Amino acid sequence: MNPDSRKARLAAMDSAKTPNQVNDPRSKFFIYGTALVLTLALIVLTTVFILNERSKEAVLTEAASKPIVGVKTFTDLARSHNATPRPFTALPPTGGDHSSSWITCGVYSTPVESLQAVHSLEHGAVWITYLPGLPEDQLSALAKTVESDPYQLLSPYPSLASPIVLSAWGKQLQLEDATDPRLPVFLKAFTQGPQTPEPGAPC
């Protein structure tokens, strides 16, 4: 091959290259600048999200530190492990004599044993009960909430005074639906709350 002919072809190829292909500084500046802008935008969005979540948590904590409208309190609750307990003062029960074994917290599609559920309340759990036939979207929302906390329990209850009832040891709140803003406040206040006789015990 003729060296002059090869040089001519290489020269022609170089002349046909675009500015990007010959490392145009303006192209590099554009690429690096775009990457920097995108990185900064991601940092800003992440920061805003974190601050927003912290703000929500602060508001929830503040609300949970105050009396919750509609919450009933039950006192002088027995705590013996008794296979034949005295009649409960509330339905679903919020305390009293109960089974020696607790029920594992989580989501149940069938009614659970009340005597075991009460033992879980003694350990700091919140028991969310609902009337069978609760709309599926509300049931899904409740299940998602319970699945995120190891000290919450969800199950149907055949006879309730309202569609949804939240129960902790000595505390109870009746709700008409799962969108009630008092629901997360009750959970924040009483899941492993100060009313718990045996905080930290397994559920």
Res 49: pLDDT: 39
- Sequence-ordered list of residues with C-beta below 8 angstroms from that of 110, at least 6 positions apart, any chain: 155, 156
Residues 21 and 23: their CA atoms lie apart, in Å, by 6
Sign of the torsion angle spanned by Cα atoms 125, 126, 128, 129: positive
pLDDT tens per residue, range 136-176: 999 999 999 999 999 999 999 998 999 999 999 999 999 99
Top-ranked range on mean pLDDT: pick from 12-16, 54-58, 60-64: 60-64
Residues 92 and 160: their CA atoms lie apart, in Å, by 8
For residues 88-103, give the mean pLDDT. 93
Report whether pLDDT(45) > 50.
no
DSSP assignments along 94-112, one per residue: -SSSB-SSPPPPEE-SS--
Q: What is the CA radius of gyration of the chain?
A: 31
The CATH code that applies to domain 72-190 is 3.40.30
Residues 36 and 202: their CA atoms lie apart, in Å, by 49
Domain boundaries, the chain: 3-64, 72-190
Residues 160 and 157: their CA atoms lie apart, in Å, by 7
Q: What is the average pLDDT value for the chain, to the nearest integer?
A: 84
